[in-house]
């Protein structure tokens, strides 16, 4: 009599099915954790940008002006004047910031009446503000 010590096809199919079910349950949690980490990175970039803006204002007496100033232009101004050591990259796109980015976007608005600014940052959903910073 033979001693069959292997797995049957049914046993293998059951194990593969269980692994598939578990992976589909865990994948959304992994994506949510990755999005939270990327949002934390956007917040960190915004705080760095705020420090650079304050240093610029101390030296120049005014914040970079213009409501139409794009975030990439703002980063370039601050980098050229050595307020930023390097241009940050968007954690959602892994590319330099662009005004056309839909995820991880940062908006800068200069408020002339207050000689101030507002920074707004967004996560994967461009309709949800994750952080708003201002100096007034």
pLDDT in tens, 114-132: 788 999 999 998 888 999 9
Chain segment 64-76, per-residue pLDDT in tens:
987 678 889 999 9
**Any domain includes 5:** no
Amino acid 3: pLDDT: 66
SS3 8: coil
SS3 27: helix
Q: Which of 108, 7, 114, 101 is nearest to 52 (CA)?
A: 108
Amino acid 5: pLDDT: 72
Domain count, the chain: 1
**Any domain includes 19:** no
Are residues 130 and 47 in contact, defined by beta-carbon separation less than 8 angstroms?
A: no
In this predicted structure, the answer to whether residue 35 has a pLDDT above a threshold of 60 is: yes
> How far is the C-alpha of 119 from the C-alpha of 132, rounded, in Å?
6
Angle at 60 between CA 58 and CA 64, to 5 degrees: 100
**Any domain includes 74:** yes
**Any domain includes 83:** yes
Amino acid 4: pLDDT: 67
- Beta-ladder partners of 118: 109, 134
Q: State which residues form the domain around 57.
A: 37-134
Q: What is the pTM of this model?
A: 0.79
Amino acid 1: pLDDT: 57
Higher pLDDT: 112 or 34? It is 34
Chain segment 74-114, per-residue pLDDT in tens:
999 999 999 999 999 999 999 999 888 889 999 999 988 77
Amino acid 2: pLDDT: 63
> How far is the C-alpha of 4 from the C-alpha of 10, rounded, in Å?
15
In angstroms, the Cα distances linking 39 to 48, 52, 91, 103, 123 are 14, 20, 8, 10, 5
Higher pLDDT: 116 or 4? It is 116
Residue 12: which pLDDT band, with cuts at 50, 70 and 90? very high
In this predicted structure, the answer to whether residue 56 has a pLDDT above a threshold of 70 is: yes
**Any domain includes 64:** yes
**Any domain includes 106:** yes
């Amino acid at each position: 009599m033979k001693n069959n010590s292997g797995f049957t096809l049914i046993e293998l199919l059951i194990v593969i099915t269980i692994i598939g079910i578990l992976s589909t349950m865990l994948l959304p949690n992994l994506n949510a954790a990755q999005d939270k980490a990327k949002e934390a990175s956007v917040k960190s970039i915004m705080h760095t940008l705020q420090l650079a803006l304050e240093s610029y204002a101390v030296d120049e007496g005014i914040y970079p002006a213009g409501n139409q100033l794009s975030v990439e232009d703002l980063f370039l101004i601050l980098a050229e004047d050595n307020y930023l050591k390097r241009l940050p990259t968007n954690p959602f796109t892994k590319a330099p910031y662009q005004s056309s980015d839909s995820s991880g976007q940062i908006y800068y608005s200069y408020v002339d009446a207050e000689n101030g600014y507002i920074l707004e940052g967004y996560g994967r959903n461009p309709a949800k503000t994750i952080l708003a910073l201002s100096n007034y």
